[in-house]
Amino acid sequence: MKRVIYIAAFLVTTTLSAVAITTAHDPIDELNTNPEYVELQEREKTLVAKEDSVSMIMNDVRSKFRIYADSLGNEGLTPTPEEFSAFSDRILELEQQIFDIRTMRGDIIARINELEQEWVLAQMNAPIEEEPAREEIVEEPVELPLYRNLVDNHCIKDVLLAEDYAELREAQREDAEMDSLVNKYMATYDRMNSVAESYRTVDNEADAEVLFAQFATLKADAEAQAEKIESRWNHILDTKYYAYGYLLERDRHYDLLDSSSAEFADMRRECSREAGCYATDALMHYALGRPTLRDFEYDFARTMGLEEAADSIATLQREPREVNYRLEPLNLERRLFIDFQPIAIGRTNFYKDTNPIPDLKVYERGTIYRILLGEFRNKQPMTLFKGVQPLYITRNEEGNYLYYAGGFSSRREADDAQLFLKEKGFKSPEICRWQNGAVVNITVVESENDGSVDIPVSGTRYMIKIATESLSEELRAIIAAEAPRQSISKEAGGFTLGTFDSRDEVEILVSLLGENTTDQIEIIEIEINE
């Protein structure tokens, strides 16, 4: 009880401490007269500080728990399930706080970007002021106004077909929204990363299942957001390149057409080289394509004599927004929470009326071996099992009681346990294997098949391939000691060993073999459908 009180105490007593962090980019000074803009900037700074504070608390909780667990380990103890649950609940609570903060920040940043974009567009849309007329006025031809917003200029909208120009304006509008789409994806990715980290460290299966479901939902959201980014950006790029290219060709600006074509080809080649390397190709396409498009728009504006639009684009080029597209792909492999336990024999019976033998747990995923001690029509007294623990009980279809001992990850461990029980006076302990919930009595099957090593069952099996022309005596000795029932075959390119039903058993054996050879060792998966 003192341990539970201690861990609850340090989880509750952690307090927030604000740490100031600057925003991602400098605000536009001209917008400081806008009350909404100023308020949003302050709210964003406050949320950044709050997020950092909560992150510090979460790191502190994890550090204290590790210290506590290590101190128990020095005494041969481990934290109780109640302590693990308290720790897990606190971490989940803090992570939810961080996610909520990031969601609010994303909304605020999106609104800040909208206000900034509106201001930029307003500046672009303002016609250039002409110099005051002189007293001596000479009538001159009327010149069309020039606009800082490239697509508003008459040399574009008066030349393109109505439907093409409408498409270009739509692409311009979508271009202004791209930063908001990217920010939403990054917030989702950060949440995925946080949930994945918690899933890999949580010690409770129920909490792990909740986190696994959360990750799956977030991953689906991220994929949908990435698809939207890809679709929008492809539309923007294709529409603008077509429209500006058409106008350049019409006016015979072939030099710019050739150079821009080469630059876009280089960009696409770079995208091809990096395809599939990161969390999403959509973000990479946008990050690499945006500067190429901006350069093209700048050169187009200069070539068409639209100096004011060129200056506006140059301003955007001088303040680039870096997009970190090199994000590690995030995937979760479902963890197996299988309770493997060796067999021990106590001086007295561990199980009593007040501590009955627990029911046998059947795992839906994974592989586990147990030793069947006997099948009986009625429940048996505890003394029959000579102090063996752990024990498990279940009933078959005939209503008989089956008593099992231990839990092992490999056949080799089960063989050792069977021999140990025989030495302790158990006449016929039998090895049983559960694979993805299906049980096979290995001892019975092998006796019926003249001692054959194993039987195929539906699911994944494993073989080990060693790329060598000659199998050394050291390797043969390791195989004989660790996998005596497995056959060795000579094939083209080397030797094959097995098959195995447990991935864990294979990886242990591969590690032992790798310590004694420089030959390439490969694990081969085989799908078996009975």
Residue 133 located in a structural domain: no
The more confident residue out of 488 and 411 is: 411
pLDDT of amino acid 135: 57
> Do 466 and 425 sit in the same domain of this protein?
no
Residues 380 and 324 in one domain: no
Higher pLDDT pick, 262 / 203: 262
Answer yes or no: is 453 within a domain: no
Does residue 185 sit in the same domain as residue 295? yes
Classify strands 367-376 and 430-435 as parallel, antiparallel or unpaired: antiparallel
Give 21's pLDDT tier (boundaries 50, 70, 90). Answer: very low
Q: Cβ(46)–Cβ(23) under 8 Å?
A: no
- Read off the pLDDT band of 78 (50, 70, 90): confident
pLDDT tens digit sequence for 60-74: 887 887 788 778 777
229 versus 51: the higher-pLDDT residue is 229
Least confident of 202-206, 367-371, 452-456, 477-481: 452-456
- The answer, yes or no, to whether residue 26 has pLDDT greater than 60, is yes
Q: Residue 262, exposed/middle/buried by CB under 10 A (0-12, 13-18, 19+)?
A: exposed
Mean pLDDT computed over 49-62: 85
pLDDT band at 334 (very low <50, low <70, confident <90, very high): confident
491 in the same domain as 413: no
Could you tell me the two tokens for 464?
A: 């080990």
Count of structural domains within the chain:
4
Q: Which residue has the higher pLDDT, 454 or 282?
A: 282
Decide which of 448, 470, 489 is a domain's last residue.
448
Task: Provide the pLDDT for residue 130.
Answer: 52
Residue 369: what pLDDT?
95
DSSP three-state, residue 196: helix
For the ranges 6-20, 25-39, 262-276, 509-523, the lowest mean pLDDT is seen at 6-20
Question: Is pLDDT larger for residue 386 or for residue 123?
Answer: 386
342 cis-preceded (ω within 30 degrees of 0): no
Last residue of a domain, one of 448, 470, 498: 448
219 vs 128: which has the higher pLDDT: 219
Most confident by average pLDDT, 83-92, 261-270, 456-465: 261-270
Residues 329 and 360 in one domain: no
Domain that holds residue 395: 344-448
**Domain shared by 265 and 353, yes or no:** no
CA dihedral defined by 270, 271, 274, 278, rounded to 10 degrees?
Answer: 150
In terms of domains, do 118 and 156 share one? no
- Whether residue 22 is contained in a domain is answered as no
Domain co-membership, 378 together with 469: no
As a whole-number percent, the residues of the chain with pLDDT over 90 amount to 30
Q: Is 334 exposed, middle or buried (0-12, 13-18, 19+ CB in 10 A)?
A: exposed
520 and 410 in a single domain? The answer is no
- Among 265, 303, 312, which residue's Cα sits nearest to residue 156? 303
For residues 39 and 148, membership in a common domain is answered with no
Q: Is the pLDDT of residue 502 over 90?
A: no
User: Residue 454's pLDDT is what?
Assistant: 47
Tell whether 148 and 242 lie within a shared domain: yes
Q: Is residue 138 part of a domain?
A: no
Give the H or E element holding residue 367. strand 367-376
Average pLDDT of the residues in 18-22:
36
The pLDDT confidence band at residue 133, using thresholds 50, 70 and 90, is low
Q: Which residue has the tokens 């197996």?
A: 336
Token match 């068409």: residue?
A: 304
Count of C-beta atoms within a 10 Å radius of residue 427? 8
Residue 397 lies in a domain: yes
Would you state the pLDDT for residue 342?
A: 94
Residue entry with tokens 């509750």 = 12
411-423 mean pLDDT: 93
The pLDDT mean for the chain works out to 82
Q: Mark out the alpha helices in 126-161 (DSSP H runs).
A: 154-157
* pLDDT of residue 178 exceeding 80: yes
SS3 state at 270: helix
Question: Which of 91-105, 344-358, 432-446, 475-489 is the most confident on average?
Answer: 432-446
373 near 507, Cβ under 8 Å? no
Q: Final residue of a domain: which of 448, 483, 514?
A: 448
Residue 214: closest CA among 230, 232, 202:
202
21 in any annotated domain: no
Tokens for 317, please give them: 């080029």
Q: Each residue of 292-308: pLDDT tens digit?
A: 998 999 998 889 888 88
Kindly state the average pLDDT of the residues 184-212: 90
* 344-388 residue pLDDT tens: 988 777 888 788 999 999 988 888 999 999 999 998 888 788 889
Distances (CA, A) of 255 to 249, 299, 444: 10, 11, 82
Confidence of residue 456 (pLDDT cuts 50, 70, 90): very low
Residues 360, 397: Cα–Cα separation, whole Å = 15
Name the nearest CA neighbour of 519 among 480, 464, 462, 477. 464
What is the pLDDT at residue 22?
Answer: 38
Domain co-membership, 377 together with 272: no
